[in-house]
Amino acid sequence: MKKRLLFLVPVFLLLFPMFLLAGGKQEAGGGEVVLYTAFEEDETADYLQLVKKELPDLNVKWVRYSTGEVAAKLLAEKENPQADLVWGTAVTALARLKDLFEPYKPAGYDKLPAQFKDPKGYWTAVDMYVAAFAVNKDRIAKKGIDMPKSWTDLTKPEYKNEVIMPNPASSGTGYLQVSSILLWKGIKEGKEDGWEFLKKLHKNIVEYTNSGSAPAKIASKGEVAVGCSFGYRVAKQIAAGYPVAMVFPAEGSGYELEANSLIKGAKHKAAAKKFLDWAISKSAMEAYSKYKIMVTMPGIKSKSEIPLPDPKDVKLFPMDFDYTSKHKTEIVEKWRSLFQDKTKPE
């Protein structure tokens, strides 16, 4: 694959028109709300059909960006916000941007465990996504490569030019992968071992994509042997008939929470709060559970039509969201300085 450069969010993304989910003719008590989301487009469209049913008076305008692009939009528009809320975006990104949000504790906030919400209401998490490898079984058989079981396996010489993963500057999935490796190797204790490990891994990587789902799709087509992605996307590729196996790294899978926030200066604040109340309701959580390995409301299990593993069967790496949020800028900047030459633009 041709290596190309991208270090800034393209201008066209900052000007990209909103998708509109028509809620029908607006009635008294309804209103318009504009939101940014990092949910995948197919799941977002599904969720919003439920919004249309349960909040028929609410006219929802939405646009989907990757996590880094959501952050870039919020920063670019901080003096004149164009959206009212953020929905389903990595908490490590939202926690860094608290100055851009207004604290709000949606209806049902008290029912969620403490680890899934900001104590002041700057963000409220709704689900978890987990790092996983999409391994093309046909390609590894043809190349005579063993099925990888770990991040360490992916640094072996036989995986040269056979690995693709997301860019942590633009992708929440990419950042959870990189940050989990750095945490595993002792970055909090001041160790550089994680960066040395990433340098070894980099030698085998073809490119870094802006999307967390792209590596799974690319590996599914047989362009590379391994796409470092997240569990649901890998499961979806398997369900679609691709010759792909889902592997959770033996060192432990990094994971991320997807959360919601009310934007400071929202032009449609009342409607935004109404949406945020709905977004942590039982019916919303049940909708998320169709696509997620876990949701944050106790008692609701994954209802995915695509088989996903039980969370208790996946070794989760013990993430430190306070650390990865506070240090994201420096981690991403260092990552760029070391590995920017393999970043693929949208």
Task: Note whether residue 338 is domain-resident.
Answer: yes
Question: For position 302, what pLDDT does the model report?
Answer: 86
pLDDT confidence band for 15 (50 / 70 / 90):
very low
Q: Go through the chain and tell me how many residues it has.
A: 346
> What mean pLDDT is predicted for residues 257-262?
97
Do 193 and 95 lie in one domain? The reply is no
Specify the range with the lowest mean pLDDT, choosing from 133-137, 260-264, 276-280, 289-293: 289-293
Do 173 and 294 lie in one domain? The reply is no
Is the pLDDT assigned to residue 273 strictly greater than 60? yes
CA distances from 239 to 40, 234, 242, 246 (A): 17, 9, 7, 11
Question: For position 26, what pLDDT does the model report?
Answer: 38
Reported as half-sphere exposure (CB side, CA atoms, 13 A), residue 198 has a value of 29
Task: Note whether residue 6 is domain-resident.
Answer: no
Task: Note whether residue 3 is domain-resident.
Answer: no
How many domains does the chain contain in total? 2
Do 116 and 145 lie in one domain? The reply is no
Task: Note whether residue 21 is domain-resident.
Answer: yes
Question: For position 254, what pLDDT does the model report?
Answer: 93
Do 335 and 295 lie in one domain? The reply is no
Task: Note whether residue 93 is domain-resident.
Answer: yes
Question: Which CATH number belongs to the domain containing residue 171 in this structure?
Answer: 3.40.190.10
Do 273 and 247 lie in one domain? The reply is no
Residue with tokens 């939405």: 62
pTM of the entire structure? Answer: 0.76
pLDDT tens column, 79-104: 999 999 999 999 999 999 999 999 99
Do 200 and 264 lie in one domain? The reply is no
φ, ψ (nearest 5 deg) of residue 35: -135, 155
CB 70 within 8 A of CB 89: yes
Regarding predicted confidence, which is higher, 81 or 5? 81
Task: Note whether residue 5 is domain-resident.
Answer: no
> What mean pLDDT is predicted for residues 142-165?
97
pLDDT confidence band for 313 (50 / 70 / 90):
confident
Task: Note whether residue 4 is domain-resident.
Answer: no
Task: Note whether residue 83 is domain-resident.
Answer: yes
Question: For position 310, what pLDDT does the model report?
Answer: 79
Do 137 and 222 lie in one domain? The reply is yes
Do 121 and 228 lie in one domain? The reply is no
Question: For position 340, what pLDDT does the model report?
Answer: 83
Do 245 and 279 lie in one domain? The reply is no
Do 234 and 97 lie in one domain? The reply is no
pLDDT tens column, 45-82: 999 999 999 999 999 999 999 888 999 999 999 999 99
Do 23 and 114 lie in one domain? The reply is yes
Is the pLDDT assigned to residue 238 strictly greater than 70? yes
Mean pLDDT of the chain: 90
Distance CA 122, CA 99 (A): 9
Is the pLDDT assigned to residue 322 strictly greater than 70? yes
CB 243 within 8 A of CB 143: no
Residues in contact with 113: Cβ distance below 8 Å, sequence separation at least 6, in sequence order: 296, 298
Q: Which contiguous run of DSSP H or E holds residue 142?
A: helix 137-143
The range of the structural domain enclosing residue 44 comes to 11-128+256-308
Do 283 and 186 lie in one domain? The reply is no
SS3 content of the chain, % helix, strand, coil (to 5): 40, 20, 40
